Structure 1
Amino acid sequence: MNIKQDIIQRANHVYYVVILLALGVIFRLVYVQYFQKSKSGKFWRERVAATVIQRDTIRAQRGNIYAVDGSLLATSLPTYVVGLDPTVAKQEYFNNKKDSLGLLLSRIFGDRSARDYTDMVTDARSHKRRYVPLNRRRVTFEERQMMRKWPFFRSTAKVAARGGVLRPYYERYHPFDQMAERTIGNLDVRTGRGLMGLEASFQPALAGKNAVGLVEVLSGGVRKPVEDGPDMKPEKGMDLYTTIDVNYQDMAETALRSALEKYNAAKGCVIVMEVATGEIRAIANLTRQGDHYVENFNHALAGRTDPGSTFKLATMMALLEEKAISLEQPVATGGGSTTYHNLVISDAKRGGSGTITARQVFEKSSNVGTHLLMRSYFYSRADKYCSYLQRFHLTKPTGIHMKGEAIPVVRNPDMKGWSKISLTSMSYGYEMQITPLQMLAFYNAVANNGRWVRPMLVKQIKLDEQVVEDNQPYVLPEPICSPQTARKAQELLRGVVTRGTARHINNPNYAIAGKTGTAQKIINGKYQVGKYYTSFIGYFPADKPKYSMITVVDTPQGDNIDLLYAGSVAAPVFKEVADRIVAYDYRMHAPLRGHSSGPRSTTGLLAGYADDLHTISSTLNIRNEPAGEGWVETTASGRWRSRPTRSGRVPDVRGLSLRDAVYLLENKGLRVVIEGRGKVKEQSIDPGTGTDGLSSKTITIKMG
């Protein structure tokens, strides 16, 4: 027993000795690695963080978004992080160029002296640091181009850059600032993915293909890019070519903002669409935020609400399809108020309209008359009425290729909540939730003789110049109604503008057809008097429809309730936008009488900028266009010649348009006063006068 204990005791001694030896080895390794010094007093080995090679995502350049004319709506501008590997350059090169680099860095960043920058890179080299970020501020593309000529960053076919690193990061930029902001969308700053609008809807195409490249993680978490092969480079994203026209978009936003501010309204939207193709030319969404309006919600796509009286068109068309009414049949609306199953139905016109025709019921937007026409036929055929709403494509989304479109809610007898008065309320636009885009698509089909066209925002997707996807207009195979019903619906919509609730926007220059809609707002389950959702939906020119449009002004405010209906609020917005579009789109104008269809030989312009005159001549088929460049003028014989605009001299603006004259004069520092209309006939300061001492001096130009 004693021998056994002696053996165990000796084994324990051996165990402890082995443990002590192991600890001694570990201590020695740590000491040599981190603490032992040489005879000169320096560490044998400095303490440095272990370098680790990791994979890191290198984001691809995101694709651009273009307007219909090729203008940029969104693009990615590169900025660059500036770094340097001071160990790459040979000692002689480093010593000769480090002072120059310090001076250049000091000039471009301006936060440190040249000596500070020189000391920073020298210290990094002495400590064999493989990568040092030179400044937190990213440089622009123009600065990057300049830096590529600097020491350490310069590279040629024979000589690689000596340690300089310019790593790109792409930031999204909207050249037109907030124009169509909700439609274009924006990006998540952290992930670079689209959050909304086209940026989110076409995320895979726009994003391209990121590359997973190698980086060396150095001390402090600094990541130094490691050169990879050509297969590891990211693939740039594709470009979207939208149907948006920046001119129409500006018209829509300007008119909408003006109306919202005038009525201190809560929100609103405008959509302009091409009738034949469904291409959306403008889509504006504004919401009041404090004392100004911003695009923070897409009311056009997601703003479901009771459409109000604009829905009466669907009711009338269903009745016409069934041949249940004629437009000239009398309807006894009485004093403008009636009751049905405890539901009070009232007209906006006080005192009512008495006995009127079915056509006038629609033109005057009579709720009582609409109820009576529905009651005469569809109250015993609710399913039939609801089937027409499906046929009119009002019960499902349009299918526009953009995320966020709301699903319409239109009641039917099989749904929970259907009651004896549901059909009555639906007949003039209540007990349903439909978006402005869905209602516009329905009216657009009427303008298109019954052919329903899907709204479109993206025409093409391209990779460089190669077309990857070419979207063509989608038209439902079957028309939503018969040609006869479409024609009668067009008559009704034209009558609203010539004789009905929108007669204030009728004009002799071109015909508008459309319908007003004023829906009372529901707050806490009750309809509120004076709180309205106003809208106008229509198309123009009425005799040959080219554009359809909806304008919405939600919750306008004012002392006179009678001036808060759609005819006074939303319809004028429609007319303002339509007027500007008609003035802008020369193709909508009839040819002048007495002019041949061949090339014309005179422009009527005496002078101008050659590029502009080339465009005008090409568009209007004018034969006599200038051959030169820059500013030009005509001679007495009708020939074009160059018109000089000398530096430091008052230019000759006689014969120029107002826009060109103001541009030239204000660029010389002159204040311009304008008298009359037409082209410039006289200027108060003679051409060629020196501009020294004329800064902010007034020049008067007379037009004629």
Structure 2
Amino acid sequence: MKSDTDSGQNNKKALIYRARIVALFLFVFAIMVFGKLIQVQYYAKFKGKTWAEYAEKNDLKLDTIPAMRGSIFSSDGSLLATSLPYYYVGFDTKVADSTYFYDNVDQLARLLVKNFGENTFDGYKDKLIRYRKSKSKRYLRLKNKEIGYLEREKVKEWPFFARAKKGGGGKFEMIYKRYKPFSPMADRTIGGTDPKSGRGYIGIEASFDKKLEGKDGINWVELVEGGIKIPVGDNLNIQPETGKDIYTTLDMTFQDMAEIALRRKLTEAQADFGCVIVMEVATGEIRAMANLTKRPDDKYEEVFNYALAGSTDPGSTFKLPTMMALLEETKMDPNKVTVNTGTGSIRFRGLSINDSKRGGHGILTAAQVFEKSSNIGVHLLMQRYFFSKPDKYLGYLKQFHLTEPTGIHMKGENPPYIKNRSSKQWNNYSLTFMSYGYEMRMTPLQTLAMYNAVANDGYWVRPMVVREIRSAEKVEDKILPYVSEKPICSPETLRKIKIMLEGVVEHGSAKNIKTDLYRIAGKTGTAQKLINGVHTAGKYYTSFAGYFPANKPKYSCIVIIDTPRGAKENYLLYAGSVAAPVFKEVADRIYAHDVSIQKTQKDTTSGEDKLVKWAGRTSDLKVIGEELKLAPLPENAQEYTAGSVIARNKTKWKSRTIESKDIPDLQGMPMRDALYILENKGFRVTFKGSGKVVGQSLPPGSNKSGLKTILLTLQ
């Protein structure tokens, strides 16, 4: 017992001894730092004066040196936003000795006239000499606007700048400007920075501002007339640390596809705004997020992020969770349970419930209710199974992850508003209205997350737009996909609802977007807009949410078109005619681009030699040729090349001119290259078949017809 006590006392003494050693070390270190500050302030000299002497004159101060903000990259490493250095060109007229000044002032004035042109030769020279002789002025900016890095390198060779370190007087005041190479694409998603503070205020720039901003440095600056701060000396006291780089999940090829299709439809429909989101099913990685708003000049720009913050009644896309709740609760066979929807209009407690089809649908199965988007049918099913237990229905909505935000790592997501029975807004009609997407608020992203969960075999995935945070090439933080541990519904419900989602496209409200190349599953949504407290016919918020290929989903997508106009008939303003075609156009382009989801083509070639022709980017064909050990391409080949081969020793290459023709020759090109070329020339592209281009509706050469739509035949 005594030995234990002695041991404890010895340990205590050892700890006290170590603490005293550490305290002594810190004290000595503090004395050294204090001594260094005294030495720098009162003994170290710059331009013949101590720093204390400068401080007494109040023209020298410590100031922050802004850090270079980190960059933002796409999923393939393409630069989306970065900070570029720019420079104000300044001149301290009293630094150079008199002989050097007067020997070189004429040459400087001539260079200023030639390169900057903001004054005459005499004007520049007189001002330089006037500042030189002035008792109150000494420093002036030689150009009102800043210059770039390459121009700065030229200016560094001018007199006064070439000998800046030896007392020439030439100065560069560096600032950073944000540059977005793909702008205006995805502007709202990438975000922006405040010109004054440099801080991010929207999008990824704001959401990851702390990571991007870096750490400012500290340096002595000299205050000159006009409040301009001139760095003093070459070495910064504390070096600024560059911000971290953000690597996103965005694919700018997909973004381009989404924006082109969305802009075309918005313009055609004279709509107020629109949104497209493309997401990878298994990971929740967002590949494209397009948000376009109609401006006063009738052009469409990225002004507001509807994907994150555009909360509104979702309309009939919400029939998906309603039907899933019915299936979960009743275990019904949707092909055997029927309701009579009558002639398209019924009364319920004084309320009129209508279907969009004139004359109504009559008797429908539950599956047909969903596929044809019958409001009456959904109401009757809800009345039959949930009116006596509304809390059960609301519980399913929570189970489907519809009552909470998605939690995407971006600022600005509006939370969903799903009423419960304790809400003051709850009334006798709430259950009916909610069942087909009214009296609630959801964003397009929240709706898409629900459809994505169905595509992902019932497992809900959090949408994500940032994949990694890096410092230089070192990965400092990796954001992994979040997938729920449990599925949102039973396998049987999932099987039934998937068939019904495909049925919408096969023979339901979106059968106009059916394609033989691959299967689409999804649901239309047409909600009357709430104007002055009244849901108004003819003013619609249209949407289509779904996934593809339906048999093995890789991508989910939602399209929003708000307030389409110009149609003679109301049904032409519904989602099936407005939003669904945009979904198909985006899906078609992704299908043509992503070979991993394309159907495998059977090899029908015989063992005999056969002439093969193809065309594409020269860089791609060079890699293919080297891999297949074909004859090398000509060294002077242009950007695109056509090739033919009948055997390895019989390969022919020929450069193909693209830019000089209104309509280029696309024969032999893959769909990806053909789409890129034509869309950059302003054509709307449709296609049939798969493989390489074997035919085009508009012949190569001058576009005498003036048509801007072209049909490509692939084989």
TM class, shorter-length: 0.7 to 0.9
* Alignment deviations for residues 476-522 of structure 1 (CA, whole Å, 9 cap, x no partner): 12211122211211111001100110111101111000001111111
Question: What is the correspondence of 1:376-387 to structure 2 with a 5 Å cutoff?
Answer: 376-387=384-395
Amino acid of the structure 1 residue aligned with 2:470: K
Corresponding residue of 1:241: 247
Distance 2:382 2:631 in 1: 62
Corresponding residue of 1:590: 599
Distance 1:180 1:458 in 2: 14
Distance 2:94 2:299 in 1: 56
**Paired residues of 1:443 and 1:538 also in contact (CA < 8 A):** yes
* Alignment deviations for residues 645-689 of structure 1 (CA, whole Å, 9 cap, x no partner): xxxxxxxxx834xxx4124xx3xxxx667678458xxxxxxxxxx
Alignment of 1:537 onto 2:536? no
Distance 1:502 1:221 in 2: 65
Alignment of 1:253 onto 2:259? yes
Alignment of 1:273 onto 2:279? yes
Corresponding residue of 1:210: 216
Corresponding residue of 1:74: 81
Corresponding residue of 1:145: 153
- The Cα shift of 1:612 comes to 3.2
Amino acid of the structure 2 residue aligned with 1:59: P
Amino acid of the structure 2 residue aligned with 1:137: K
**Paired residues of 1:537 and 1:551 also in contact (CA < 8 A):** yes
Corresponding residue of 1:404: 412
**Paired residues of 1:270 and 1:551 also in contact (CA < 8 A):** yes
Distance 1:564 1:604, change over 3 A: same
Distance 1:153 1:439, change over 3 A: same
Q: Which moved more, 1:111-120 or 1:412-421?
A: 111-120
Distance 2:167 2:154 in 1: 14
* Alignment deviations for residues 409-446 of structure 1 (CA, whole Å, 9 cap, x no partner): 00111211111211111111111000000000000000
Corresponding residue of 1:113: 120
Distance 1:378 1:623 in 2: 68
TM-score normalised per structure 1: 0.81
Of 106, 128, 132, 1:125 maps to: 132
Corresponding residue of 1:179: 185
Question: What is the correspondence of 1:570-609 to structure 2 with a 5 Å cutoff?
Answer: 570-594=579-603, 604-605=613-614
* Alignment deviations for residues 514-558 of structure 1 (CA, whole Å, 9 cap, x no partner): 001111111122111111111100000000101100011111112
Alignment of 1:611 onto 2:606? no
Corresponding residue of 1:341: 349
Alignment of 1:63 onto 2:70? yes
Corresponding residue of 2:60: 53
Distance 1:446 1:63, change over 3 A: same
Q: How many residues align?
A: 609
Amino acid of the structure 1 residue aligned with 2:127: M
Q: Which moved more, 1:216-225 or 1:438-447?
A: 216-225
Alignment partner of 1:232: what SS?
coil
Corresponding residue of 1:11: none
Distance 1:262 1:623 in 2: 49
Task: Determine which structure has more spread, i.e. the larger CA radius of gyration.
Answer: 1
Distance 1:406 1:193 in 2: 22
Corresponding residue of 1:309: 316
* Alignment deviations for residues 618-637 of structure 1 (CA, whole Å, 9 cap, x no partner): 9xx75548477552887987
- The Cα shift of 1:576 comes to 0.8
Structure 2: tracts of 5 or more residues without a match: 1-55, 670-699, 704-711
Distance 1:167 1:359 in 2: 69
Corresponding residue of 1:506: 514
* Alignment deviations for residues 117-167 of structure 1 (CA, whole Å, 9 cap, x no partner): 3443344334475533222221111101111222222269xx657322111
Distance 1:262 1:407, change over 3 A: same
Amino acid of the structure 1 residue aligned with 2:139: Y
Q: Which moved more, 1:70-79 or 1:246-255?
A: 70-79
TM-score normalised per structure 2: 0.79
**Paired residues of 1:324 and 1:377 also in contact (CA < 8 A):** no
- The Cα shift of 1:261 comes to 1.4
**Paired residues of 2:218 and 2:237 also in contact (CA < 8 A):** no
Alignment partner of 2:409: what SS?
coil
Q: Which moved more, 1:128-137 or 1:432-441?
A: 128-137
Alignment of 1:232 onto 2:225? no
Alignment partner of 1:493: what SS?
helix
Question: What is the correspondence of 1:472-487 to structure 2 with a 5 Å cutoff?
Answer: 472-487=480-495
Of 498, 518, 521, 2:526 maps to: 518
Percent identity between matched residues is: 50
**Paired residues of 1:238 and 1:464 also in contact (CA < 8 A):** yes
- The Cα shift of 1:640 comes to 9.9
- The Cα shift of 1:333 comes to 1.9
**Paired residues of 2:629 and 2:648 also in contact (CA < 8 A):** no
Alignment of 1:662 onto 2:675? no
- The Cα shift of 1:324 comes to 4.7
- The Cα shift of 1:221 comes to 2.8
Distance 1:330 1:700 in 2: 59
Distance 1:617 1:565, change over 3 A: farther
Alignment partner of 2:193: what SS?
coil
Corresponding residue of 1:463: 471
Corresponding residue of 1:189: 195
Distance 1:461 1:625 in 2: 44
Distance 2:473 2:619 in 1: 25
Amino acid of the structure 2 residue aligned with 1:410: I
Structure 1: tracts of 5 or more residues without a match: 1-48, 644-653, 680-697
Distance 1:166 1:510, change over 3 A: same
Alignment partner of 1:655: what SS?
strand
- The Cα shift of 1:639 comes to 5.9
Distance 1:70 1:522 in 2: 43
Q: Which moved more, 1:337-346 or 1:253-262?
A: 337-346
Alignment partner of 2:161: what SS?
coil
- The Cα shift of 1:222 comes to 3.3
Distance 2:431 2:403 in 1: 15
Amino acid of the structure 2 residue aligned with 1:371: H
* Alignment deviations for residues 561-580 of structure 1 (CA, whole Å, 9 cap, x no partner): 12111111111111111111
Q: Which moved more, 1:139-148 or 1:630-639?
A: 630-639
- The Cα shift of 1:699 comes to 7.8
**Paired residues of 1:242 and 1:459 also in contact (CA < 8 A):** yes
Amino acid of the structure 2 residue aligned with 1:234: P
Distance 1:556 1:147 in 2: 55
**Paired residues of 2:218 and 2:236 also in contact (CA < 8 A):** no
- The Cα shift of 1:252 comes to 0.9
**Paired residues of 1:451 and 1:475 also in contact (CA < 8 A):** yes
Alignment partner of 2:265: what SS?
helix
Amino acid of the structure 1 residue aligned with 2:465: L
Alignment partner of 1:348: what SS?
coil
**Paired residues of 2:657 and 2:664 also in contact (CA < 8 A):** no
- The Cα shift of 1:323 comes to 2.8
- The Cα shift of 1:390 comes to 0.8
Distance 1:672 1:422, change over 3 A: closer
- The Cα shift of 1:195 comes to 1.8
Distance 1:293 1:544 in 2: 35
- The Cα shift of 1:474 comes to 0.9
Of 377, 380, 385, 1:372 maps to: 380
**Paired residues of 1:610 and 1:628 also in contact (CA < 8 A):** no
Corresponding residue of 1:296: 303
Corresponding residue of 1:103: 110
Corresponding residue of 1:39: none
Distance 1:113 1:387 in 2: 78
- The Cα shift of 1:242 comes to 1.2
